[in-house]
Amino acid sequence: MITTRIHKAALSALLVAGLAACGNDDSGNDTNPLLIAAKAAGGTVARVRGDKEAEAPAPARTPEQMAAEALRVNPAPLILVGFESLGRSQVLAMTGQNGAMRTYMAPSKEALILRDGLVVGTRGLGNDLSVAEPQTEPLIRAGRAGSAPRVMRYYSGDGLERPLRFDCTVGPGPKAGVVAESCEGHGASFQNSYMPQGGHLPVSRQWLGPRLGYVTIQTLRP
């Protein structure tokens, strides 16, 4: 059972890599965090005085390795998140649920709040998204074309919420099976990408905000 989940996680990682390649990063950073993590796993051997060899610090684990370990030791629902602006990936486990809303948290207390795969809030990341109100949600889940607004509310320095409204269109993405949500407003533009399956969003690339940028999300265990 675990082996099957690991194989699915590896396949999902490839889907996420392809999905990230489809998106438009308004920050100009088109680096794929999954590829960065994979390259970092190469490792090197360092030499020290006296012709003695010492191993370099353990290479960074690939997302697939992190997913396999998380699936082995944690029975909770899990997601793998790639933070593009930070160049790293992190496994988050579900720590709470309220109806369709789930909170996924890392050991560092960084958290995403999802509604069946759609990001509706963040916590512990700084410049947090208080709540997202995407009226495009029904279009995205059904894979239908259309237009609707999206409101993103952010915590400001005074502790108040500041809403930002974006005008969005939903339509087919550049690759088969991908739904694109393109939004503009307040001098910014971004494009979210989703791979809906029966109304669910197990694989996606979503914009969290001007400071946090994009994250790629894949479900490891529902």
Which pLDDT belongs to residue 157? 77
Which pLDDT belongs to residue 14? 47
Q: What is the pTM of this model?
A: 0.77
Closest CA to 214 of 123, 89, 70, 124: 89
Which pLDDT belongs to residue 106? 95
Helix 33-40 to helix 63-73 angle, to the nearest 10 degrees? 90
Q: Is 84 buried (19+), middle (13-18) or exposed (0-12) by CB count in 10 A? A: buried
Mean pLDDT, contiguous 10-residue spans, the chain (222 residues)? 46 55 46 31 32 59 90 95 93 97 96 98 94 98 97 88 96 96 96 96 97 96 96
Which pLDDT belongs to residue 24? 47
Which domains, and CATH codes, for the chain? 2-40+47-221 (2.40.360.10)
Which pLDDT belongs to residue 25? 43
Which pLDDT belongs to residue 21? 58
Which pLDDT belongs to residue 158? 80
